[in-house]
Structure 1
Amino acid sequence: MITQIRATSPRPFLKWVGGKNQLIQQYLPHFPESYRRYYEPFVGGGAIFFRLQPQQSFLADINIELVNVYRCVREQVEELITLLENHQALHGQEHFYAVRSQPTTSDDWFLEGNNLERAARLIYLNKTCFNGLYRENSKGQFNVPIGSYQKPTICDSDLLRVASSALQSAQIERSSFDAVLDHAKGSEDFVYFDPPYYPISSTSKFTNYSRYSFSEADQIRLKEVFVELSDRGVKVMLSNSDCPFIRELFNGFNIHTINANRNINCNTEKRGKITEVLVTSY
């Protein structure tokens, strides 16, 4: 039997730029009524996954640190909680910068399995850095400064356990977004794309959240993947900036306008209401 969308879900355990928690109510009318398998190739904070709680899911991201976190939460949540409790006890400016400076340039460890210390490091930095940003330089080094939180919640053990339970049936892989073409084949598949948004101004060019940039050519390739999936009968949904480039790129599909808030501009006067688009193939 095809899985019906559930009404309740756990919450994301990470802060993530562009996270969809605040937009889900606007998204609800646009989800497909039914599907069997769910795919999210830019998992980020996972707000949509946690809301839908699909019984069969494929979660992916190009960010090796993020994929490792999801695997550790799924498979070793109690050990991860212990490490985070230690970070909670030690937290301060000196500890933050000592943790941030730990070398992360080699990806060889990922081939050997999960890395709990690196997962705890990412969650700790995510909960204590400025605005919860995830940003790497070209060498893969995390470079966001410490935030001004007085008592950040670094270890929310209950939330992590609920997330772990939700992730038990999920396949979690490190891959590029176009790898979804190897998996999603037909009408019982639902793919949600939440890529780095196309920049609409010189101050919104936040496409390099990791060492892997996301260019205009990548946006065009993403559209090609969207079209190919749609031609197979796959139900496809995509979020992106509300701008002429994206609207023209997806001309011919259903384009819905979503009201959102811009909260990451360093100039507080430039934060506020904006619109985004939600594109659907169905």
Structure 2
Amino acid sequence: MNSILRWAGSKRKLLNVLQNRAPVSFGKYYEPFAGSAALYFKLQPKHAVLGDINPEIISMYRAVKSSPREVLDYIESIPTTKEGYLTVRALEPKNLSENQRAARLIFIMKACFNGVYRTNRAGAFNVPLGSRFYRLPSKEEIDEASRVLSNTVLRLGDYSKALDGAEAGDFVYLDPPYSDGNRFRGEYSYDGAFSVDDRDRFLKTCADLTTKKVKILVSFKLEESFITKLKGWNVQKLDVPRSVAGFASSRVAAAEIIATNY
């Protein structure tokens, strides 16, 4: 199935490649940079852990897992108009129920410019309305997402927290956020930046998991200094179409890598 969440940076266009590179068999599945969790919903593992530093994402998955119909009712109550978008965008998530909060996120991400999640320093979502409203998830899709999530543990926080408990034979998919070289502007939230120090810690995490015989699949931007630190890994370079630029003429393929330690 497809993810119910529209998300800039989603690996939807790479799903066939990622699925083919995933191990044939594994224990538990871990995805600590969940976002739209496109690969998770494609593989539909029997037992999994999803994590994210963004509380809106984890709250949304929790609501869909436990109360899919209530979330759908709230989604369907929002008018697909500019006024409806601006009204819902202005709502403070902490003042909403978890089901309302989930509906808000799903709705605004389907309608906002290029599916970009961005907040200001105060934590308020500030992405303008996009050129059209993308199709909202159906009852069947919400129910199916709830079914897939039923045996999944959801963890809010740093990726290391989501990886707690990973052991030999488990499968970890790592898709950390990265900058294209421009200054960080609040994408993923102001707590979601991935610094050079974070990258070094990330690479140490990969080394530690490899020592434990955990199977790891990493997707990241093409960066030779990053690749050289993945000694002994299988690395595939590829160009991935990107659609986050403001004008179609500026949308070019991004050079990325897929790497595995198996």
Q: CA deviation at 1:155?
A: 4.3
> Is the 1:207–1:214 Cα contact (8 Å) retained in structure 2?
no
User: Which residue matches 1:184?
Assistant: 166
| CA displacement at 1:252 relative to structure 2 | 3.5
* Alignment correspondent of 1:101: 90
Q: For 1:224-239, list aligned pairs within 5 A.
A: 224-239=204-219
Matches within 5 A, 1:191-230: 191-197=172-178, 199-202=179-182, 208-212=187-191, 213-230=193-210
Cα distance, 1:206 vs structure 2: 6.8
Does residue 1:75 correspond to 2:75, yes or no?
no
Matches within 5 A, 1:122-133: 122-133=105-116
Partner of 2:7: 16
Q: Secondary structure at the match of 2:129?
A: coil
8 Å contact kept, 2:29–2:47 = yes
Aligned to 2:54: 63
Q: Look up the equivalent residue of 2:38 and give its one-letter code.
A: A
1:148 aligns with 2:131: yes
The residue that corresponds to 1:269 in the other structure is 249
Secondary structure (helix, strand or coil) at the match of 2:245 reads: coil
SS at match of 1:182: coil
Match of 1:253 in 2: 233
Equivalent-residue separation in structure 2 for 1:128 and 1:233 (angstroms): 42
Q: Do the aligned partners of 1:68 and 1:119 also contact (CA within 8 Å) in 2?
A: yes
Shift of 1:207: 7.2
| The 10-residue stretch of structure 1 (175-184 or 64-73) with the greater mean CA deviation from structure 2 | 175-184
1:103 Cα offset (Å) = 2.3
Question: Is contact 2:7-2:36 (8 Å) kept?
Answer: yes
Kindly state the Cα deviation for residue 44 of structure 1 after the two structures are TM-superposed: 0.8
Corresponding pairs, count: 261
Deviation at 1:134, TM superposition (A): 1.1
Q: Among residues 167, 170, 174, which one is paired with 2:156 in the alignment?
A: 174
Judged with a 3 Å threshold, the aligned counterparts in structure 2 of structure 1 residues 146 and 207 are, in CA distance, closer, same or farther, namely closer
Give the partner amino acid of 1:268: A
- Counterpart CA distance in 1 for 2:113 and 2:250 is 17
> 2:4, 2:137 within 8 Å by CA — same for their partners in 1?
no
Structure 1 residue 225, shift from structure 2 partner: 0.6
What is residue 117 of structure 1 aligned with on the other side?
Answer: 100
TM-score by length of 1: 0.86
Q: Among all aligned residue pairs of Structure 1 and Structure 2, give the percentage whose two residues are the same amino acid.
A: 32
**Whole-angstrom CA distance in 2 between matches of 1:166 and 1:62:** 21
Q: 1:249 to 1:17 in 2, by over 3 A?
A: farther
**Structure 1 unpaired stretches of 5+:** 1-9
Q: Deviations over 1:155-176 (max 9, x none)?
A: 4222111111111111111121
Is the CA contact 1:96–1:146 (under 8 Å) kept in the aligned structure 2?
yes
Cα 1:34–1:152 shift into 2, 3 Å: closer
User: Could you list the runs of 5+ residues in structure 2 that have no partner in the other structure?
Assistant: none
